[in-house]
Structure 1
Amino acid sequence: MTTLQMRLESISFPIHPRPSPIAAALYTLRDLNCKYIVLHGPPSCNFRAMRLLEKDGVKVFTTSMSDMDVILGGKEKLISVLRLIYSEFKPDLIGVVGTCCTTITGEDVEAEVIEAGINSKIIAVNISGCWDNTEGAIKVVEAAFRMGVIDEKEFRRQISVLRAATEVEKSRGVAMPGYITPSKGDDINYVAKEVLERLKYGVLVILNAKKETAYLYSDIVLALKEASDKVGGRMFLTANLMSDRGLPKVREDATRILLELKRNGLKVDLLSGGLDEYALAYRILELPGIPDFDSAVVIGVPQALDPRRFDYSVGVSSGERTMTRLRTLGYTRVINEEAAHINVLGKRRIVRSQFGTAIRRLL
């Protein structure tokens, strides 16, 4: 180990980029089917996240806070934007997300939305970019519960699964301390050939997708089913597609995907949770009825499972730092589905994946 590596490993916090809790708050509002969201901050804050939300049919606005607004307060701008939105669209629900600026200055966003005096129900939160990304989502579900948008049972479940997601990323994912060097995934065609050979003897396929990314990752499941039928193989599928839990959009996505899989002749052998319960996937291997196969393909959030139970394991996810972590955890092969999240925004049908396409080419 080099001196630099030793110094990096001695650092007790991540020094590589991490997702924004402000963006997590925005996407959680979207999952509540909130179609009008105001970001109370500078015009460039979370620009990419806001533009991507537009692909999902969300109208996004900013109060365009200036340097002077940060000093004197941006209340009047927020009230003006809220009144304009209500005047133009008359929405039932509006989301307001304060940013680092309003958090540092202590602006009372909840009081300001009351002062706006409009008839829409408004979920308002202040989010600092200094927190874990899941804290942004937690703040939103807390506010949604206070406003009566979700019930207590779902509120408590949301807190539990979000805390579990944080723990997985900090202990097994890319929120670990130090610096995680990005790395490429394995050759997608080579791995496809290996998996086709393994199917002849039995492969456990675990769909453990995070929310809407299941629209892409489910395509890999369909491709593996086609391959299994072709080679006379055996495939046991678990999928976190339960539609009786989660925020409204999450439930709707699970329902759509499960129906589309069925229309394509694919039977899920075991439903293993909801689309927001990906951090709890470690329980899957302990469930009764799971076959004792030597090979597994884990799709979506593979870091939530221990691959060392298997002689051969493939972890399919997105992100070059995630590839590094999956290798460290012991996955035999790792596949990077680049831009998985971007490719599914606004989609309501299963979309083609790189790995699924590679499998079909071999068939």
Structure 2
Amino acid sequence: MSRKGALLRGAAALAAAAALIGIAASPAAAKPHRPHHDPGPVVIAHRGASGYLPEHTLEAYQLAVELGADVVEPDLVLTKDGELIARHEPVLDETTDVEDHPEFADRKTTKTIDGKPVTGFFADDFTLAEIKTLRAEERIPDIRPQSAAHDGEFQLVTYDEILDWVATLDEPVITYPEMKHPSYYEDKGMSIEESLADLLDERGLDKRRSPVWIQSFEYESLLAVDELVDNRIGLNIDGQGEIPNATLNEYARTLDTISLNKNRIFPRDADGYLQEPTDIVERAHRRGLDVHVWTFRAENTFLPADFRSSSDPAARGDYLAEFELFYDLGVDAVFSDYPDLAVEAREECRA
């Protein structure tokens, strides 16, 4: 049996075990897990169609929807004047042309994020008007030259502008904002939770059934925003390793979703090869938690060693095989830089 076949067999065994265990093994306080109405996982465009165009631009979100994404994911940071803009980090250096603007040269500084010193140009040292003079650039141009070809073409965009655009679409599209580094802003006397809650309240999007889900890597931040809005909330969990049942029980009481690094489900060994799947999806589902997974990309450099096509880090590998492993475990949503490939894999799994 091939390695892929063995991994698929392991995934199938876990799914079968979950069916046998059923609700009887669930904690008393568990919520019933209700899968998305459409068979197969929801496709979340990770920072837009970021495999094709510079991330977190309106053009990347527009392309993502054209390619079939159900959800677009804007990471949110704050400007000096308290506006929410779509950037992966408070630091602008890697994804904008800020270093090409001599009028901003004196803004470069060193600050502490997550306990580590970071040097660069920070969005919270710029007003929105100044931010609008910058243009987006591809973060990994050596891997994605097709996206880097569009450097300098697109403005940075606010979350308010993204919501304006979504409101014009013929079909409903969910936005899934991630509050980036809430503690960083708290230390500066700013509240990204309140800024987001105020905007959603103004737009009438702070309801349980609103097409806005909220995520963060900081659990306390999610608890804080949950006091302000009724939207679905989810915790992002990085790394790999066991998540204890007691922790899952707490999350089930306070969250709707756990959003996992792929390695939490299929760990990798020191050489990048996949190991047997864990049972985290089944245990989370028993507690009524949705499971979202990140991030699915097509290039060899991001794929498990099992599915790489060559030593060329930018070449595409067997991305469909990776999707299949996770889809067979019944995950509820996947984040992908290539939403069209996630949709393609979903269609193949349905066939």
TM-score (norm 2): 0.29
> Which has a greater percent of helix?
1
Higher relative contact order (CA 8 A, sep 6+): 2
- Which has the greater radius of gyration? 1
TM-score (norm 1): 0.28
